Structure 1
């Protein structure tokens, strides 16, 4: 197991073929009074044509990663009716897609029989897991790296099960 948590640049830079991300929370801590979520709540909507207003280093990293031929997929398990934060995520997912990610959504009720790990994760090339730990309030906590083959298999199997049932972003209707 790596002794330190890799930076996002190191993690995605190490990907040769695939990088998958499974998200399972209905909300993540955000400042509800300031920033993108607050702006969205106030009615501001993404203008795909005004790339300078929303493009961030993360989008460049994803674009660079997919530009090397790495397939980047993100799946989100969501409760329905969705939370306000999930509505915000759905609206902003266009940014991920423009950067090169493929994104699918799976209603939580359709995931009940899928063996899932206890935390959100990134899986690189079916070998390296980066756990994303969060506090109870949804704030990021320490990440953790794991290279155990059985852990990687658990994550790969869970992700593929979610992905196969997931609804492509452009077809998922917020409920």
Structure 2
């Protein structure tokens, strides 16, 4: 399945994009990190070094005109992890210049989406994100198949069209 998508590798992919980067997230929980653990203990969202890196990295690309969109399909009621993501989104994703939408899983009937999270950069590079059953990182695959990219973009746009903007979404 490849290696993790390191910060440097992600930065290279995003920096090479000229128009767009889209990201579809499908899981209700991912790797638990220190920020999540701190939030569970205190209820406070505190940005860490990874968040600052994200805001800087994505922010630079958004400033030069790359549109970064993220769609999250989530079960309701939200898992603790998804609730934390929802609470962190303004301080991290929106602060970086991303546009984020949420789609409750019960509103996905009839949509066909790939079983793995992915990024598509400029409709040219597809990056599959793989996770283990308990949400731990399992690696990435980079793919340039026009057919797969087209299918992933169609899936993303279908989700995006139904999803609710972060500013409007109120989790159940």
Q: Stretches of 4+ moved more than 6 A in 1?
A: 51-54
Kindly state the Cα deviation for residue 123 of structure 1 after the two structures are TM-superposed. Answer: 0.5
Kindly state the Cα deviation for residue 115 of structure 1 after the two structures are TM-superposed. Answer: 1.1
Residue of structure 1 equivalent to 2:32: 30
Supply the distance in 1 between the matched residues of 2:125 and 2:160 (Cα, whole angstroms): 19
Matched, 1:58 2:54: yes
TM-score (norm 2): 0.90
Contact in 1 for aligned 2:27/2:74 (Cα 8 Å) = yes
Matches within 5 A, 1:14-163: 14-31=16-33, 35-46=34-45, 55-94=51-90, 95-163=92-160
Contact in 1 for aligned 2:35/2:48 (Cα 8 Å) = no
Residue aligned with 1:122, SS: strand
TM-score (norm 1): 0.88
Supply the distance in 1 between the matched residues of 2:167 and 2:149 (Cα, whole angstroms): 29
Supply the distance in 2 between the matched residues of 1:80 and 1:67 (Cα, whole angstroms): 34
Supply the distance in 2 between the matched residues of 1:134 and 1:41 (Cα, whole angstroms): 22
Contact in 1 for aligned 2:102/2:165 (Cα 8 Å) = yes
The CA deviation string for residues 73-117 of structure 1, in whole angstroms up to 9 with x for no partner, is 000000111101110000001111011000000001111211111
RMSD (Å), alpha carbons: 2.0
Unaligned runs of 5+ in 1: none
Kindly state the Cα deviation for residue 126 of structure 1 after the two structures are TM-superposed. Answer: 1.4
Supply the distance in 1 between the matched residues of 2:165 and 2:27 (Cα, whole angstroms): 18
The CA deviation string for residues 9-53 of structure 1, in whole angstroms up to 9 with x for no partner, is 11101111000000000000214xxx1112111224237xxx788
Contact in 1 for aligned 2:35/2:45 (Cα 8 Å) = no
Residue aligned with 2:72, SS: strand
